Amino acid sequence: MPLPRWDTIGSTVKDYSKVMTRRGRVWSKENPQPTHGWQGQPLKTHIYAFSLLLLFGAIPLTLFFILAYDPWAPKTLYCTGQTSDFSFGETMNGSAIQGIFIIDALGPDQMTFATAKFVDVVWDLCVGRGAQALSWFISYVVFSKALIHAIEVAPIPFRSFTSVAIDGSSLMTFWTLLVDIRRQKSKRMVALFIYLIISIGWMLAMPTLLSAMTGYVSSNQMYLSVDSSLIDMAEVHAGQIIEDGERVGLSNGTCVPDSDIDLSLVPGMNIMVNSRRLACPCEFPNGTVVDSPRYGGDYVPNALLVNCTYNTTTTDRTFPSTNYTDNSYTELPCTSNFTIKLNNEWHNIGRNPLNLTRGGCFRNQSMPTADIDTNSRCLPSGDNAKYYWGFSSMLGAIVVILQFVWAFTMYALWFESMVFSTLVKQGMKLSQLRGAFAVTAAAQERLEMGAEEMVGMPEGDLKRLGARESVVERRHLRGEGEGEALRRKRSTPDCDSD
């Protein structure tokens, strides 16, 4: 039997002692005790974590609902470049899917297409991707501590541990956790896996949602469809359709623009009508005179009083009212007549006000408001189009609420690990390199192979290793587990045969 060479034995022992020394530097005590800070951590760590909760959750939520005006209200699509007297548009119900994506919070400045596109790209890159990158960093810290805490309770499958410890919040991690959740027997581990899946899904969707809640819209002009042709709404003027126009020398149904009628008289006329209706007797078309309900006369529904006139001259009653022409309060006779100002001329219209309907005046045509609302269209402004960049208030509200829930639950998961995890309170931190070492130690123990042998394993064997009941345990993370091949190598010195 050949004897070992003394110089070889010495170098072997020296190398082995270096390995043990490095391990000793990581864990100098079996159970190191915290020396400062609340619950074993510096107070500044908790202040920093709580500040992140405010920055990524509470502050955006508060600012959004301060600045946004009723984001849940039904949305109306208005023409951004309309110059007419009307502001009609298509109203979207708040629960309709199209209402979520309406860009209703527009900026005040008009932009060229290139400028609007540049702002949108900057938002997507800086805010969308930037928020996702910061979320990935925060989630890696939180998930790694949660993984350390979870491994104290139950082993974690190879694939799940590797994905979380090395890949972080990625699509592969999302899929791996989704597949491995069925292998968990502990309700606590199942709940943790479900939360990790939902949290990673939110982070993956974050850039898309932040991009969807913003955008730019082009200026457009309002047109009205009349007899299969489009007319510019700037040519349609808001006015009053006088259904009984013959009383003032016009045809019935004539439209008078607001600029040609003194609308300030209309509210006063309505007040006089109601006051006289309560105090004065009126006469129906068949000649029947009905006394006022105020004096205990016959009861008549309001619907019938529309056709009741005050033509009788046999009464000397008065009614209290405000004179609509000079705003003076006085007692007026029940037989008082109304006057109205049209085209700078006063017209005596008798004892009943005109029958007015709100509408639009286009040349010699009268258009009721309902017809204008139905037939109005918003079309692009053409070569002179400008662009507005803005937000969807409804989708923005959904995003900031979900972001707050995500930030709060992440803080709660981090806080639980900091308070209740023994390894975390002892200073254990999981990095990508430490995670790789822990998986390597567990694989060596499972396969009884050295690192060089495992590197050369066929791809199929590696996939089967991850799919089998292979787990990473607490002792692997602490560096207490060793593969059989590695122990044999360390216990046997290198010997050369003579």
Examine the pLDDT at 145 and tell me if it is beyond 90: yes
At 298, phi and psi to the nearest 5? -65, 140
Work out the average pLDDT over 203-222. Answer: 90
| Helix (H) / strand (E) containing 271 | helix 265-279
Angle at 458 between CA 453 and CA 460, to 5 degrees: 135
Instruction: State percent of the chain over pLDDT 70.
Output: 77
Q: What is the pLDDT of residue 5?
A: 46
Here the tokens at position 244 are 């009984």
Name which of 400, 401, 413, 479 is nearest 140 in CA terms: 413
CB 285 within 8 A of CB 344: no
Nearest to 143 by CA among 196, 188, 183: 196
Neighbours of 192 (CB within 10 A): 23
| pLDDT at residue 12, as a whole number | 43
Mean pLDDT score, 339-346: 83
Q: Interhelix angle for 130-151 vs 187-212, to 10°?
A: 180
pTM: 0.65
What pLDDT score does 54 carry? 94
The answer on pLDDT for 131 being more than 90 is yes
Listed residue (265, 270, 289) closest to 342, CA to CA = 265
The CA-CA-CA angle for residues 176, 178, 184, to 5°, reads 95
pLDDT score of 486 more than 60 = no
Mean pLDDT of 44-48: 89
User: Which of 70-74, 82-86, 92-96, 315-319 has maximum average pLDDT?
Assistant: 70-74
Contact 159, 465 (CB under 8 A): no
Using CA atoms, how far apart are residues 213 and 390, in angstroms rounded to an integer? 9
Per-domain residue ranges of the chain: 6-214+391-491
The answer to whether residue 201 scores a pLDDT higher than 90 is: yes
* Minimum mean pLDDT range among 257-261, 270-274, 438-442: 270-274
Predicted local confidence at residue 77, as pLDDT: 64
Average pLDDT over the chain, rounded to whole? 78
CA distance 432 to 435: 5
Cα 203 → chain centroid: 15
Name the amino acid, one letter, at 72. W
Residue located via tokens 């600045």: 67
Q: Is 156 helix (H, G, I), strand (E, B) or coil?
A: strand
Question: Which residues are CB-contacts of 70 (< 8 A; sequence separation ≥ 6)?
Answer: none
Contact at 8 Å (CB) between 165 and 141? no
- Residue 10's pLDDT is what? 43
- Measured in degrees and rounded to the nearest 5, phi and psi for residue 130 equal -65, -45
Percent of the chain's residues with pLDDT above 90: 25
The alpha carbons of the chain give a radius of gyration, in whole angstroms, of 41
Rounded-to-integer distance, Cα 466 and Cα 114, Å:
50
Average pLDDT over residues 287-316: 61
pLDDT at 85: 58
The tokens describing 475, both together, are 């002792």
Residue labelled with tokens 């590696």: 462
CB 224 within 8 A of CB 377: yes
pLDDT value at 480 more than 70: no
Higher pLDDT, 409 or 267: 409
Residue 377 or residue 81, greater confidence = 377
